[in-house]
C-alpha cells in the first residue's frame, strides 16, 4: 500500500510539472510577443512625436531603396527615417540627435538685416546620388561604401570629402540647373517684409528683376490614378523650395495659388500632378482668381498625368499616363521648355423639365467633353463601384479593366438604344436630324476615351482637325459600346454630326446617363446648353504625343 501511495504521489507531481511546463511554453511566447508589441507601439509613439514637432519632413521606411548610412553614427542602415526636403537619412536610435543637430531646408530666411540677394550652400554629408560628380575635381562621388562626400540641398552640387574646403562652405549658392524655377528663401523673406510695410515695388527684389525667372508651383493629388503623387511630393521638395510644393489632399488649389500674388506677373508656371479631374479643379481655382481681380497673376498650367484617362494631358503633349519612366529632373526641364497656348473652357447648363422652373439649373465647366450614352454609362457604373470599394481602384490598369468590363456588358444589354428618339440636337440653333444612335459626344479636345482621336476616326476622310483653342465644339454620335471600341482601334469612324459654337440637347423622355469630363450622373428629362465660358492658359509640350498622326498633333 505504501509503495502504491508513493507511486501515485510521484505521478501526480509529474503531471503538475508537465502542466506547469506546458503553461510556461504557452504563456512565455505570448508574453514576449505582448512585450515586443508594447515596446514597438511605444517606440512608434516617440517617433511620431518627433515627426510632429520637427521642422524636417520625416518619413519612416522599413527598407531604403539604395545603400544608406546614418548621418549621425555613420553606420549602414536598412531601415530608418529620411527627410523628403533635405535628404537626411538616419537610423531609429539617432533620430532625435539628427533632428536637433541638422537644420532642414529653410523656406524663408529669418533674422536677416536688409534685403539679402544671395545665400550660402547648405551642405549635407553622405548618401549622395550615385551618378553625381564632384564640382571641384569632376570625378564621381559616393563610390565608397561609407558615409562620405557632401551634397548641397539647393543646387544639388556634390563635393568629395577631400575636395571640401572652407571657401566652399561660405560660397554663395547658385541654385544649380533649376535656378530659374526655384523661389529662393531670401526672396520670400524680402517680399514678406515689404508686404508688412505695405510696399508693392517687388520688381527691385532679386530674382524678381530677372527676365528668365519663371518660378514653378507643384500641385499634386496623392489620390489620383496609381497613387504616385506621394512619391513626387518628396522628389519635388528635394529639388525646389518646399513652399512651392502642395499636397491637394491637405490644401485646396485656391489657397495654394495665392502664392502667385507674391511672384512676378505672368511668369508663374504650375505643374498639376494628377488626372484630368485634378486639372479641372485647379483651372476652376484659377477662374476664382480672375473673379477676385487677380488676373495679372494667372499662371500657365502644365500636367503630369497620374489619372486613368488623361485625355487633356495627351492633347497638350504631356502623354497618356506617367509611371515613373521619366526622371523628375527631366519633367522640370520639360516645364521650362514648354510653350504657352490657350484652352477653351465651356459652360454646361442642365435645366430640368417641369417643377415650374423652381429648381436652379445645374452648371458645370467642361474642359474635355460632354456625353450622353454608353460611355457615360460606363463612367457611371465605374464611379458607383469605386465609391463602394475605393481600395481596389489604386491602379491605372485595374481602372481600365473595370471600364472594359462595363463596356463589354453594355454591348450585350444595350441600355442606351434608340437615343435618337429620346433627344433633339441643335448646333448653333439649327436642328440636326439624328440617325439611329446610342450615344452623342461633344468634344473640346482632340483625344477621347484614354487616347483615341475621335473626331478624325480612321483618318481616311478629309475632315478638319479638332482644335482646343478655336471656340468650336465637335459633335459626334456612336452606335453603341462595340462601335466605341472599333473607333478606339481605328476600325471604324464616328458619326460626325458637325461643329458648332453653341450646342443644345433636349432629353424629351426617360432617364439617361450623362457625364462632363468623367464626372457622371443619371439625368431625367432636361435641356443641356453648352456655351463658351473662358480661356485657360496652358503649357504645351511637343515631345509626348501618343498618337501616330504627327500632323494632327502639330496642328494643335
Domain holding 102, by residue range, is: 46-111
Domain count, the chain: 4
Residues 477 and 356 in one domain: yes
Residues 400 and 498 in one domain: yes
For residue 12, the surrounding DSSP H or E stretch is helix 2-53
d(CA 112, CA 374) in angstroms, rounded, equals: 63
Q: What pLDDT digit, counting tens, does each position of 204-227 carry?
A: 787 776 778 999 999 998 877 566
Residue 46 has pLDDT above 70, yes or no: yes
For residue 545, the surrounding DSSP H or E stretch is none
Per the domain annotation, does 548 fall within a domain? no
d(CA 494, CA 457) in angstroms, rounded, equals: 6
Residues 131 and 237 in one domain: no
Alpha-carbon Rg for the chain in angstroms: 31
Per the domain annotation, does 24 fall within a domain? no
| pLDDT given for residue 246 in this prediction | 95
Residues 498 and 397 in one domain: yes
- Can you give the CATH number for the domain in which 275 is found? 3.40.50.10330
Residue 301 has pLDDT above 90, yes or no: yes
| pLDDT given for residue 453 in this prediction | 85
- DSSP code of 134? B
pTM of this structure: 0.85
What average pLDDT is seen over the chain?
Answer: 85
| pLDDT given for residue 554 in this prediction | 33
Residues 363 and 330 in one domain: no
- Can you give the CATH number for the domain in which 143 is found? 3.30.60.20
CA-based torsion, 444, 449, 450, 456: positive or negative: negative
Per the domain annotation, does 321 fall within a domain? yes
Residues 438 and 331 in one domain: no
Q: What pLDDT digit, counting tens, does each position of 491-522 carry?
A: 888 899 999 999 999 998 888 999 998 888 99
Cell readout for 168 is 566652399
Residues 301 and 419 in one domain: no
Cell readout for 91 is 537610423
Amino acid at each position: 500500500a505504501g509503495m502504491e501511495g508513493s507511486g501515485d504521489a510521484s505521478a501526480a507531481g509529474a503531471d503538475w510539472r508537465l502542466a506547469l511546463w506546458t503553461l510556461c511554453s504557452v504563456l512565455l511566447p505570448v508574453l514576449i510577443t505582448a512585450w515586443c508589441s508594447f515596446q514597438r507601439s511605444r517606440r512608434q509613439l516617440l517617433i511620431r512625436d518627433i515627426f510632429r514637432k520637427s521642422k524636417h519632413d520625416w518619413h519612416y521606411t522599413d527598407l531604403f531603396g539604395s545603400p544608406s548610412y546614418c548621418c549621425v553614427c555613420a553606420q549602414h542602415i536598412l531601415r530608418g527615417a529620411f527627410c523628403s526636403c533635405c535628404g537626411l537619412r538616419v537610423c531609429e536610435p539617432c533620430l532625435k540627435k539628427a533632428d536637433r543637430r541638422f537644420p532642414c531646408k529653410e523656406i524663408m530666411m529669418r533674422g536677416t538685416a536688409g534685403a539679402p540677394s544671395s545665400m550660402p550652400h547648405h551642405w549635407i554629408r553622405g548618401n549622395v546620388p550615385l551618378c553625381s560628380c564632384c564640382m571641384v575635381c569632376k570625378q564621381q562621388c559616393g563610390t565608397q561604401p561609407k558615409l562620405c562626400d557632401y551634397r548641397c540641398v539647393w543646387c544639388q552640387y556634390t563635393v568629395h570629402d577631400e575636395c571640401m574646403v572652407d571657401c566652399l562652405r561660405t560660397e554663395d549658392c547658385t541654385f544649380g540647373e533649376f535656378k530659374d524655377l526655384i523661389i529662393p528663401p531670401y526672396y520670400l523673406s524680402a517680399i514678406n517684409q515689404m508686404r508688412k510695410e505695405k510696399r508693392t515695388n517687388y520688381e527691385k527684389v532679386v530674382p524678381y528683376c530677372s527676365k528668365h525667372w519663371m518660378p514653378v508651383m507643384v500641385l499634386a493629388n496623392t489620390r489620383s490614378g496609381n497613387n504616385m503623387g506621394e512619391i513626387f511630393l518628396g522628389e519635388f521638395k528635394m529639388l525646389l523650395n518646399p513652399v512651392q510644393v502642395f499636397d491637394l489632399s491637405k490644401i485646396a488649389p485656391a489657397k495654394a495659388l495665392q502664392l502667385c500674388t507674391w511672384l512676378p506677373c505672368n511668369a508663374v508656371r504650375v505643374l498639376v500632378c494628377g488626372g484630368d479631374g485634378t486639372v479641372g479643379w485647379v483651372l476652376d481655382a484659377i477662374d476664382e482668381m480672375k473673379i477676385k481681380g487677380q488676373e495679372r497673376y494667372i499662371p500657365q498650367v502644365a500636367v503630369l498625368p497620374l489619372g486613368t484617362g488623361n485625355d487633356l494631358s495627351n492633347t497638350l503633349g504631356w502623354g497618356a499616363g506617367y509611371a515613373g519612366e521619366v526622371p523628375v529632373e527631366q519633367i522640370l526641364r520639360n516645364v521650362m521648355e514648354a510653350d504657352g497656348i490657350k484652352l477653351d473652357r465651356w459652360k454646361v447648363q442642365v435645366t430640368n423639365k417641369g417643377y415650374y422652373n423652381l429648381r436652379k439649373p445645374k452648371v458645370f465647366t467642361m474642359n474635355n467633353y460632354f456625353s450622353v450614352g454608353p460611355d457615360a454609362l460606363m463612367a457611371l457604373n465605374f464611379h458607383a463601384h469605386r465609391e463602394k470599394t475605393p481600395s481596389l481602384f489604386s491602379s491605372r490598369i485595374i481602372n481600365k479593366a473595370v471600364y472594359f468590363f462595363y463596356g463589354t456588358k453594355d454591348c450585350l444589354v444595350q441600355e442606351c438604344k434608340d437615343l435618337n428618339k429620346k433627344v433633339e440636337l441643335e448646333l448653333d440653333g439649327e436642328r440636326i436630324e439624328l440617325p439611329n444612335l446610342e450615344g452623342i459626344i461633344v468634344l473640346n479636345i482632340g483625344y477621347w476615351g484614354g487616347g483615341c482621336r475621335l473626331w478624325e476616326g480612321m483618318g481616311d476622310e478629309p475632315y478638319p482637325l479638332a482644335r482646343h483653342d478655336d471656340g468650336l465644339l465637335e459633335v459626334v454620335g456612336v452606335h453603341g459600346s462595340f462601335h466605341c471600341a472599333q473607333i478606339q482601334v481605328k476600325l471604324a469612324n464616328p458619326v460626325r454630326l458637325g461643329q458648332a459654337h453653341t450646342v443644345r440637347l433636349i432629353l424629351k423622355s426617360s432617364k439617361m446617363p450623362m457625364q462632363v469630363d468623367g464626372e457622371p450622373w443619371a439625368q431625367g428629362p432636361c435641356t443641356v446648353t453648352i456655351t463658351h465660358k473662358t480661356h485657360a492658359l496652358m503649357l504645351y509640350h511637343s515631345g509626348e504625343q501618343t498618337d501616330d498622326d504627327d500632323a494632327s498633333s502639330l496642328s494643335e
